[in-house]
Structure 1
Amino acid sequence: MRRFLFALLLCLPILAAADATVPTKDVDGAHDLPFLKRYEGSYIVNYEQKSFDQFVLPLSVLKKVPDHSDRMNNYVMEPDKKLVAEGRYTRLLYVVPAGRSPLEVVRNYVDEIRAAGGTALYSCKNEACGGDLEGNDHGGGTQGLLEKLYPHERVKAANFTNGNCASTMSISEQRYVAMKLPTADGDVTLAVLVYTVGNDLYCKALNDYTVAMVVAIEPKAREQKMVTVSAAEMARSLTNTGRIALYGLYFDTNKTDIKPESTPALEQIASLLKADPALKVYIVGHTDNVGTQGANLDLSKRRANAVVAALVSQYGVKGGQMEAAGIGMLSPLASNDGEDGRAKNRRVELVKK
């Protein structure tokens, strides 16, 4: 009955923007990850990147969640074990040259990642991964691995184009591996799903081709775009990451006097510390690279001392909860080559003791 109801929906008229074709170049704006090459002869047909996002990697077989269906009337599937990663999100879908199997392609990726020091967290193949072997827009059945890694609501490519067909066609074989890859900036979390697609309609040009989907989460802190960060947000960040960067504390150039417009930020810091008397933090001053290292170290420490003093004298925070420190220019969050980067580096951080 579930499949019959969904089949009725497929009878509604649809207009194809353009049929799929065997790709001969990458889609506009797409490029490989800097730390992971593509399989030789492949072309990128679908690409998405976000500066900060969350991604959930299954690390065990998908299992049916009782009495839960998704918006496509599929039974919802979830793994017992999973990894939740946050950072810079990149997803690439490559169409691999004809005649290449998912096994051959995935082993090439695994070899490449391991050669760079990476390690496998989990792997599976075909039905052993759990769920249906289907694209990410089927209905009336059971969610599959592709739908968990790339939900249909994220598909932005027009119907029946290569970028759409590469994830919506039926699957005849799949191989999946989740891995960690060390880089100079920290560990990258990687999901590689390689599968063979099939279709006899608008997407048939890709019939029997293999698609390699690579999803990467690179370590990157979320930018604090709200100038006044709430006490609750500070508490969450201190719990989750042990630190938070604040940009709502203002000083004149080369001065340590706190400007009046810093009041909202000071109030939220005070609220955080007074609500949890056991919480102890470092108040850490940071600067850009304008000036000498010695001058910036001194300035950042004096500014941190000024924040501590203001919180004690004006807001009644216990001095024992805070310790001032200055790092100067030694821990930038961005390049100092431009003003935007220098602005990100001029900050005060709370660091949990």
Structure 2
Amino acid sequence: MSETVIAVPRTRTCPFSPPPGLAEVRDRAPVTRATFPSGDEAWLITGHAEVRAAMRDPRFSVKVPRALHTKDGVVTAKPGRGSLLWQDAPDHTADRKLLAKEFTVRRMQALRPNIQRIVDEHLDEMERLGPPADLVSSFAVPVPSMVISDLFGVPVEQRPEFQEIAEAVMGVNPDPEVAQAAGMRLGGMLFQMVQERRANPGDDLISALIGTDDPEGVIDDMFLITAAGTLLIAAHDTTACMIGLGSALLLNRQDQFSLLRNDPSLVSTAVEEMLRFLTIGQYGGERLATEDVEIGGVLIRAGEQVVVHALAADFDPALVVDPDTFDITRRPSAHLAFGFGPHQCIGQQLARIELQIVFETLVRRFPELRLAVPVEELSFRDEMVFYGVHKLPVTW
């Protein structure tokens, strides 16, 4: 291991590739010391095997004392039971088990017709209005918003507000007052929804959770509000980013767009390659060692922080041959776009189904789709937790 403390590479020169220098850091030392925007020094883990090892190790906690990716390093108050992102075992294990019952592969597959309907309706409207169109505002954002809102039974008139709230809270350095106000708005809306579902259960996820066998009395109002808020915001923002960014990539790689247009059966492998190539958790997850842990031959002491950099890991040549090449015919890899271990994304099957329907339908319905501006003019979400594109002007 090199003893040099490097500044973690964060600035991209190509919008579809990791920051230059990240591969060199990984190749030189997959576990190394680095400095972060907060000014703190911590461990940076970039190798695929090493990131997987850290993600699955229970000796790493998600409850970190300092926020490495923000300029002030302040860790904001995290929600309690029901928020899987910020929990450790045993609470995390118990709560995930309760929620996982509602995210089975079978239940997610049953959502296909509704997802197809939502996708078709938005593409119908885009076609009706004619070119040019912003694929982000007209398609990439509203489709996952509608899908997850249907799953939770969010009233139609409140759905635009959920989109606004997601924008307010998902920045790397959000305005504290704006983020707090957005969180309060979300909490108030969800409290009303929970009371409504208790009085009038429906065919939605909140009603299903209320009706779950809960001998320990965990699923109270606060649990439901926290779980619903976390899943709504995370599922909406991540999938919207992948649709927008994946579309931009396909349209910038017309050879790959043509492959999918000519052979729709490639959509499954295309989605998996997009997930690997465009791992949108662009800065890496933060962890705290609760005991001494050895990762990749390096001893990480109890009390030291680490960043597990999934984007760097998904471009590791140990994972795939020629990782810098985007190839939708590539055999699906063990990418880390959904994480790994106890905190692996609980909604990954829904995301996969949604992305498969989105890209198969988009390419089929608009076979002549192309960028309306040069890729150099696109504005990307460099300042957000999840990477994506702000606007995507297209024509056909």
The normalised TM-score by structure 2 is: 0.22
Which structure would you say has the larger RCO, counting Cα contacts within 8 Å and 6 or more residues apart?
A: 2
Greater fraction helix: 2
Which of these two proteins has the greater Rg computed from alpha carbons? 1
Greater fraction strand: 1
